[in-house]
Structure 1
């Protein structure tokens, strides 16, 4: 049984990084957050996870831009179905420029459309590659460190408060939910 556990742990440490790379190609948050949590527990290396997530995210976004730019006929159906959203991304790109490339990594639903809009536009490809790399580094580092230190804080709470730790964690989660609700309301009021 011990041999099976060691074998699983070895294959997880190897294939976990591969799965993280492919998951982050689609700009998935869960992969880097899980990697940060597993690094807290000592199962994987945090620095390696951040580097792999960065490369996966950079590869996915860059590939999407390049494919959209040079294979427009294959993307034509998809682009026409989301014409209004892509037009909005063009407006945002003109208005916010490089900041949009960095911020889009964090906005669900936009992180896929911005590379499509860039690929369909005449935006400088070299400039995008540099900005995309910097944005991928910031994205992976911030989320990886957030998960690592948040997990560490949760472990310390559980160790400090023992059987009552679930109450502290529950209050903390409730505060986060309330803060997200208020920020969603404020954003909806601001955009209306």
Structure 2
């Protein structure tokens, strides 16, 4: 069965997956789905709305977890402390700008909304800015996928119809591998930061 047929038969599930994937993260997935929308396999507006509200709902959830249970969560998962402290330092500099941009900063989104909740940012203010930021984020990545697919079609010509889905599959596999590698490196970095923070400071020699 072809990928086109799978999407035709189970297309609704791709929108559900988009919502839950963007609830967690999902930049690469949204770009790839945007390419599929350009090829007519998905409805771009439905994709965009699912990405928008998935991202918004996800960060609202993390915000309230941080606001209500932040210290308890950090006590249970102390290795998260370095990432949370890094996000809190950004909040202290300019919370408005941070709320509007943290989705676009690699390695920060996982802790950003949680940290904003812990920082006691006013809930309605966060919700409004988060709603705007999620809109810009979804439009950027879904639009990038659509434009990428359109440009690829224009350059490649008719033969893209035969190999387009093969390339899309390769792109998806490559993206998944890159995400796995980035997350592995991120875990190692956070572990190193947590270890450094927990290690006692050596007194200067001769004291």
| Structural mapping, 1:16-165, within 5 Å | 16-72=14-70, 74-77=72-75, 80-159=78-157
Alignment check: 8 A CA contact 1:72 1:120 kept: yes
Instruction: Report the aligned-residue RMSD.
Output: 2.5
Equivalences, count: 160
| TM-score (norm. length: structure 2) | 0.69
**Segment drifting more, 121-130 vs 67-76:** 67-76
**Segment drifting more, 51-60 vs 151-160:** 151-160
Moved over 6 A (4+): 3-7
SS in 2 for 1:71: helix
Q: State the distance in 1 between where 2:23 and 2:73 align.
A: 18
Gaps of 5+ in 2: 161-207
Note the C-alpha offset of 1:70.
Answer: 1.5
| TM-score (norm. length: structure 1) | 0.74
Give CA-to-partner distance per residue, 1:86-143, whole Å, 9 cap, x none.
2232221121221111211112210111112112111111111111110000000011
Note closer, same or farther for the CA distance 1:23–1:5 as it changes in structure 2 (3 Å cut).
closer
Gaps of 5+ in 1: 163-192
Q: State the distance in 2 between where 1:43 and 1:7 align.
A: 9
SS in 1 for 2:120: coil
Note closer, same or farther for the CA distance 1:38–1:6 as it changes in structure 2 (3 Å cut).
closer
